[in-house]
Amino acid sequence: MKKIISTDKAPKPIGPYNQAVMAGNTLYISGQIPLNPATGELVKGDVKEQTRMVMENLKAVLTEAGLNFSNVVKCSIFISDMKDFPLINEVYGRFFTADPPARETVQVAGLPMGVDVEISCIAVA
């Protein structure tokens, strides 16, 4: 059985998908981009500020599901330029202070709304 997880503290989906789906004790969070949920505007600024907003959006969805970053077992990071990897990694690491999850980071040709970073994750309750 699946349960849809939705919060107004994270951006509304920009397509036919949900912010997250809980299946059993596993939460699948859709890719989050640096969209400010309060204003609906993309975060202006460098990739570090964009990554911070992405991580805050993930945090909001995790919180809505009654979880936190310690429950995350896997992340997928999509970036527009691999040269930004160290900067993204720096911000990302602040949210995983102990036992970080498995993950991959992939450079892609383009991301929704022309952003520089998108992150999805899987968490287990």
pLDDT score recorded for residue 45: 85
pLDDT score recorded for residue 25: 98
CA dist., res. 28 & res. 44, Å (int): 27
pTM of the model: 0.97
Length of the chain: 125
**pLDDT per residue rounded down to tens, the chain (125 residues):** 899 999 999 999 989 999 999 999 999 999 999 999 999 999 988 999 999 999 999 999 999 999 999 999 999 999 999 999 999 999 999 999 899 999 999 999 999 999 999 999 999 99
> 15 CB contacts (<8 Å, ≥6 apart)?
none
Which CATH number is 16's domain given? 3.30.1330.40
CA dist., res. 74 & res. 83, Å (int): 22
Residue-range definition of the domain harbouring residue 110: 2-124
pLDDT score recorded for residue 122: 98
Domain count, the chain: 1
pLDDT score recorded for residue 73: 98
